[in-house]
Amino acid sequence: MASLGRNTFDSESRTPPFPSISRDPEHYHSNGDCILLVESVLFKIHRFHLVHNSIVFAHMFELPLGDTAQEGLSDESPIILSGDTAAAFRALLKYLYAPVLGTQVEAIPLTEMHHIIAVAKLAHKYEMNAWEQWALQFLARRVINQDKIRPQDVQLLHNLYDRLQEYTMRDRIMQSWCRFVETNDLPIGAAMEAADVCGDEESLARLYCIQLGRFGANADLLNPTSFLTSDTPVVHFQRMLAGYCSLSLAWDRFREDPIPYPRPEPWCSPKQHAAQCVPLYQSRWREATQDAERKWPKVTEMEERLSWMDIYLGYHRDAGSESSGGGLEGKCFTNFVMSNKMVERAKKRFYLPAHFFPRGNRGV
Ligand SMILES: [Zn+2]
């Protein structure tokens, strides 16, 4: 953002003040020495605050005087800040003009958060480094690290950290965003859009799962027009449909795959192993998959299914020895369940983004 410089102020496109232009009620200081126009609001402030705090403003005021000598000295010829909102600029001035005590991070109420976000954005744009650090410190210490993100701020925060290229923070915000969508505190469309712009496939996959869950068991997935009623871009439905089909197929394959037969333990003869251990293992596996499907009927609940299978197999690992009078043959199965971590390894097959974003479509 260091390239902003003088062009930011857009002096070429300066237009005479319109009748709708008004003076800011809080920051039109009669003894100020610099008049700025932001949107349709005139601010008369003390140049010192800008020069002292901002590299961009300091450079601007250092430039040799020319045709623009009168700029900023009267309401008729203000310095125009383009691309900013009057509300954001007012928020910045609120802290620039605040007594020191009013700017202590711990003293600021959380209800000020949208003001602080505005300060962070403007401070970044105008290279007010100390103020940018101050705002980010507030957000990190008081909000994000304490999990105090509120639904109404989540979009602003996400946008801020994306602009600052602070991607770890941005992704943490998106996780909160997804939680708010899940609990119906925020609509899903804006979250999908934001995640899509950032190429955040993990979050998109999570959001798609939420939406697929909402369609319920009766959604006519092969006829997507049946749920194209919202203003959600069609690409999301295409991916949801692809993911739904891909996950369903992957589960069918997983369930029907020839099970890698456990090797006989030293005490088990190959004959006995084939006759007892393997069938036992197969039936336990079948029971576990069926039970998982019953308990977690949605294909988007793969992680839950696999975790449940882990529990199921672990719980039933000894049943074989009971039914056959306590012989050792069950031990093959027990040892296999305990050592093979088959379910755990299967989790890779159900990594959600890979299903919603098949390889051919990645990076689009
Ligand atoms: Zn055996």
For residue 349, the CA-to-ligand 1 centroid distance in Å is 28
Give the pLDDT confidence score for residue 85 in this predicted structure. 94
pLDDT over 50 at 44, yes or no: yes
Q: Which residues contact 84 (CB under 8 A, 6 or more apart)?
A: 38, 39, 122, 125
For residue 254, the CA-to-ligand 1 centroid distance in Å is 23
Give the pLDDT confidence score for residue 218 in this predicted structure. 56
> How far is 229 from 231, CA to CA, in rounded Å?
7
Instruction: Report the share of the chain in percent with pLDDT over 90.
Output: 42
Lowest model confidence (mean pLDDT) among 46-50, 83-87, 172-176, 264-268: 264-268
For residue 281, the CA-to-ligand 1 centroid distance in Å is 10
Lowest model confidence (mean pLDDT) among 57-71, 77-91, 200-214: 57-71
Give the pLDDT confidence score for residue 223 in this predicted structure. 62
> How far is 347 from 244, CA to CA, in rounded Å?
17
Query: Given pLDDT bands bounded at 50, 70 and 90, which one contains residue 127?
Result: very high
pLDDT over 90 at 322, yes or no: no
For residue 63, the CA-to-ligand 1 centroid distance in Å is 87
Give the pLDDT confidence score for residue 4 in this predicted structure. 38
Mean of per-residue pLDDT scores for the chain:
82
* Tens-place pLDDT, residues 216-252: 655 666 665 555 556 677 888 889 989 999 999 999 9
Give the pLDDT confidence score for residue 67 in this predicted structure. 58
For residue 343, the CA-to-ligand 1 centroid distance in Å is 20
Enumerate the β-bridge partners of residue 107: none
State the average pLDDT over residues 130-142: 91
State the average pLDDT over residues 321-348: 62
E-strand stretches of the chain: 22-28, 34-38, 41-45, 79-81
Query: Given pLDDT bands bounded at 50, 70 and 90, which one contains residue 69?
Result: low
Is the entire prediction scored with pTM above 0.85? no
For residue 234, the CA-to-ligand 1 centroid distance in Å is 53
For residue 330, the CA-to-ligand 1 centroid distance in Å is 7
Give the pLDDT confidence score for residue 5 in this predicted structure. 36
